[in-house]
Amino acid sequence: MKCNTELVKAGADSLARTYQDKLQVARSLTGAETKGTLKQVAKPNSIAVALKKAGLLVLLSPDPLGPIADIPGVLLLSASYVLKKKEPASIASVLKEAQLVLDGFETRV
């Protein structure tokens, strides 16, 4: 009987230490910087998102050359959509997507 009591007490002490450790870890992870770092690990930034932002920035920026500077913007935007499809990108697929993007802009204008 004494052996069983010691075994139960040891198990309870182990659970108490485990919960204390979990509580300490939870308290250390509440900072905004730590949450941001963990988010980067769990869901890293995508190059497709960066290409999309760069393409939109080039397309929406005022340029003295007119529509000539829109060509790289459309290509960047198209490449972002191709990368999201997770297929091997080729020049033809990027140009096809660029044509779809340009068609979408023409219908909006």
Q: What is the pTM of this model?
A: 0.43
56-108 pLDDT per residue, tens = 888 887 776 667 777 788 888 888 877 776 666 677 877 887 888 778 765 65
Do 51 and 38 belong to one domain?
Answer: no
How many domains are there within the chain?
2
Output the six-digit token pair for 20. 């204390």
Domain that holds residue 20: 2-42
Q: What is the largest CA-CA distance in the chain?
A: 90
34-43 pLDDT per residue, tens = 777 767 666 6
Do 36 and 58 belong to one domain?
Answer: no
Do 28 and 52 belong to one domain?
Answer: no
Distance in angstroms (rounded) separating the CA atoms of residues 40 and 35: 9
Do 55 and 98 belong to one domain?
Answer: yes
Confirm if 78 and 54 have CB atoms less than 8 A apart: no
Do 35 and 63 belong to one domain?
Answer: no
